Each structure stands twice: as C-alpha cells, then as structure tokens.
Amino acid sequence: MRNLGILLIAIIALMVIGCQPPEGMGGVTQEQFDELKGNVETMKTDVENLHMALDSLTTIYNGHIEKWHKGGAIAPTPPAPSKPTREKVK
Amino acid sequence: MKKLLALSIVAAFLLITSCGEEVALTAPENFTISAGTDEVSVVLAWSENPSDEEVDGYYIYFNDAIADSTENTTYTHDDPQETGIYYVTAYRGEDESAASDELSTEPVIATGVQLYEIGVPNEESGYGWNTSTGQGAIYSMATAANASSIDLYFTNFATGYAGTYNIASPDEVLNDAGASWLQGTTGWKETGFAELTADFDDVTVLPTTGYFNFEEIAVNTTYGVYTEDGHYAMVEVQSISTSSGLVQVRTAFQTVEGLAILEH
C-alpha cells in the first residue's frame, strides 16, 4: 500500500513535469501568435507597396533620361543662387 | 666832461632802441586739410599768426614747392588731380617763417592682402581700414563681433564657395544665403563699390557717384570703394581661386575723409 502511494505520487510528479511547455516557447498564447502573424502580413503588404513605388520611380527616371539625355536635349540648369537686390549706395 | 658822458650814454641808448629787431615770424599753427564739397579739391586751414608779427601773408607748399600764396588763413587747392604733402609758412617781405606741420593726401597702399570667400571654413573674409592711419586689417566673420571694423567682404551669395565671387557691403550678410549664421545680427556697415575702367596704378580720382552694395569681381580689375565713414578707397583683385576660395588683392585708402583723389 505504501509502495502504491509512492508510485502514485511519482506518476503525478512526472505528469506535472511532462505538461510544462518546452524551453523557448515561453508560454506563447494563441492570441499572441495570431497577433504576430498579423504583423507579418502587414509587413508583407508594406514591402509590396515599396516595390510598386520603386517601379514607378524607375519609370519616371527612365523617361527623364530618354527625354533629356538620349534625345540630345540639354537638361535644364538649376536656378542660379539668388543674389541680394543691387542697390545704389552713393 | 661828465655831462658829455651822460649825453653819450643817452644817445647810445636811443640808437640801440630805435634800431631794435622786428618780432620773429613763427610757424603757422593748427594746420588742417579736408576735402572740398566737390570731393576733388583740398581745403587747407590754419590759425592766424600773432598780430605783432605783422605778416604779409602765407605761402602754400605742395610737394615742397610753392603752389600759391594768400593773405587769408584758408586756401582751396582746386582739383589738383594728384596727391602729396602740404604745409604753409608765414612771410613778411623777404622773411619767411618755419613750416607748419606737414599733412599728406597720399593714399595708404597695402599689397598681398589675402581674403577668402565667406563660405570657406576657418578662414577670414572681412577687411576694414583704420580711418586715422589708413592701415587695413583682415577680420573674421565667424560672428558679428568684428562688425564695426569691417568695410567689405567676399561672397558668392550661396552656400559653399563655388561660382562667381562678389565684393560686398558687410550689411549684405543679412541677405547672404552663404552666411546663414549671421542672420539676425546687427552692427554691420554699409559700403559702396564701383567697377573702374582704369588700372589700379593709373587711377587719379575716383568717381563720386555710382557706388552699389556689391559688384561681381574679376581678376586684374579695380573697384572704387566708398565706406560708411565717408572715406574713398580702392581694391584691385589680383587673383581668384574658386577651388580654395582665396581672393588676393591690393588696396589703397584715402585718410582724408570725403576726398576722392587716389593718385599714387
């Protein structure tokens, strides 16, 4: 009877230890996991948007090169630095 | 015999006193020179000699030669077109006094002056003259601390120091995109500049009008300068390096306020 009691305690102890989450999981809940998944999806969308913007910029740049350089036209010069108004002192 | 001796003494006394020397002439004092209202003539003035000297008049000397004489105590040297040293003497008949103080209208020349475009870090771009001595000095424009001493600076009116340079009135720093750290500061002088057609060594008289708040500069070109203190000067640009921002000049400054003669 005493041995049976010891065996029972040992089984319960093993069950408790066996039910602990493995190290590294840190006790992540399903809600936290879903939230993380949502963030990843958002980042994925952002990267896709960035790709689209880059493509658009590349198209504009290529158009500029085609128009002003390959076409032989002279690119407009940047505006000259603005001087103060020239005024007569004497 | 005793009476004859006494008579002789009295006669001798009368002879000596009647032949006494005239009062010696003294050099005219308080001699000054200034510019005429036309800014190209030189006005001389001095104090009248004591009446017991009974002077006949005064000789005006210019560069050690008598230029004229006058009975007055002022004299205007009309449009001399040249600079030089003036002094006056008093005369009475053939007698002439010693000379007064000598005063000069010759400009003060400075060569090998090295200034930098205002955007060059850790270099000085301000220049100003001492109105009494005519000596010029280079000043930092890192702050407004030297504002009251600076008569001109060099700038491209933009950040960095590429492009074309200008000789500019110090108060233009408030409108200068290349002098952002000086915005809102006070005390800067207003100077005018006029590009000249004559070379530095051939200039006799500067124009008295046509001065602007800045002029774009070119090598081997001379610029007339009119300072806020009312003095005329000129600056010859001898070299410009837009890679280093260095501008090398020589200058001439007229210490007589308002006198536009810069012949040298």
pLDDT in tens, B193-238: 999 999 999 999 999 999 999 999 999 999 999 999 999 999 999 9
Q: A34-48, A60-74, B52-66: which has the minimum mean pLDDT?
A: A60-74
Band of residue A21 on the pLDDT scale cut at 50, 70, 90:
low
Residue B147 lies in a domain: yes
How many Cβ atoms from other residues are within 10 Å of residue B246's Cβ? 17
Number of domains comprising chain B: 2
User: Do B112 and B95 fall within a single domain?
Assistant: no
User: Do B41 and B128 fall within a single domain?
Assistant: no
How many Cβ atoms from other residues are within 10 Å of residue B181's Cβ? 13
User: Do B198 and B239 fall within a single domain?
Assistant: yes
pLDDT of residue A36: 87
Residue B12 lies in a domain: no
User: Nearest residue of B to residue A83 by CA position?
Assistant: B157
Please say if the pLDDT value at position B14 is more than 50: no
Domain of B62, CATH number, reads: 2.60.40.10
pLDDT of residue A20: 60
Please say if the pLDDT value at position B102 is more than 60: yes
Residue B171 lies in a domain: yes
Q: A43-47, B20-24, B119-123: which has the minimum mean pLDDT?
A: B20-24
Q: Which of B56, B80, B104 is the last residue of a domain?
A: B104
pLDDT of residue A7: 67
Please say if the pLDDT value at position B10 is more than 60: no
**Whole-Å CA distances, B92 to B21, B29, B51, B65, B95:** 13, 17, 12, 18, 5
User: Do B157 and B87 fall within a single domain?
Assistant: no
Please say if the pLDDT value at position B248 is more than 80: yes
**B208 contacts on A by Cβ (under 8 Å):** 90
pTM to 2 decimal places: 0.74
ipTM of the complex model: 0.82
Q: Which domain holds residue B117?
A: 108-253
The most distant pair of C-alpha atoms in chain B lies apart, rounded to whole Å, by 109
User: Do B69 and B146 fall within a single domain?
Assistant: no
Residue B169 lies in a domain: yes
User: Do B174 and B76 fall within a single domain?
Assistant: no
User: Do B177 and B88 fall within a single domain?
Assistant: no
- SS3 letters across A5-17: HHHHHHHHHHHHH
Please say if the pLDDT value at position B20 is more than 80: no
pLDDT in tens, A52-81: 888 888 888 877 776 666 555 666 665 555
**B211 contacts on A by Cβ (under 8 Å):** 88-90
User: Do B58 and B112 fall within a single domain?
Assistant: no
pLDDT, average across residues B173-184:
96
DSSP assignment of chain B equals -HHHHHHHHHHHHHHHHHTPPPPPP----S-EEEE-TTSSSEEEE-PPPPGGG---EEEEEETTEEEEEESSSEEEE---SS--EEEEEEEETTEE------EE-PPEEEEEEEEEBTTSTT---EEEE-TTT--EEEE--SSGGGGGG--EEEE-SSSSS-S--EEE-GGGGGG-TT-GGGTT-------EEEE-SS-GGG--B--SS--BSEEE--TTEEEEEE-TTS-EEEEEEEEEETTTTEEEEEEEE--STT--B---
Q: Which of B48, B82, B104 is the last residue of a domain?
A: B104
User: Do B159 and B199 fall within a single domain?
Assistant: yes
Question: Dihedral (C-alpha) B86, B91, B96, B101: value to the nearest 10 degrees?
Answer: -30
User: Do B65 and B149 fall within a single domain?
Assistant: no
- Using DSSP's 3-state secondary structure scheme, residue A77 falls into coil
User: Do B63 and B133 fall within a single domain?
Assistant: no
Distance CA A86, CA B211 (A): 10
The percent of residues in chain B predicted with pLDDT above 70, rounded, is 92
With beta carbons less than 8 A apart as the criterion, state whether A61 and A68 touch: no
> Considering CB atoms only, which of A82, A83, A89 is closest to B192?
A89
User: Do B35 and B115 fall within a single domain?
Assistant: no
Q: Which of B74, B104, B134 is the last residue of a domain?
A: B104
> Considering CB atoms only, which of A85, A86, A90 is closest to B209?
A90
pLDDT in tens, B161-170: 999 999 999 9
Contact between B163 and A82 using a beta-carbon 8 Å cutoff:
no
> Considering CB atoms only, which of A84, A88, A90 is closest to B157?
A84
**B195 contacts on A by Cβ (under 8 Å):** none
Residue B58 lies in a domain: yes
pLDDT, average across residues B248-257:
98
pLDDT of residue A51: 86
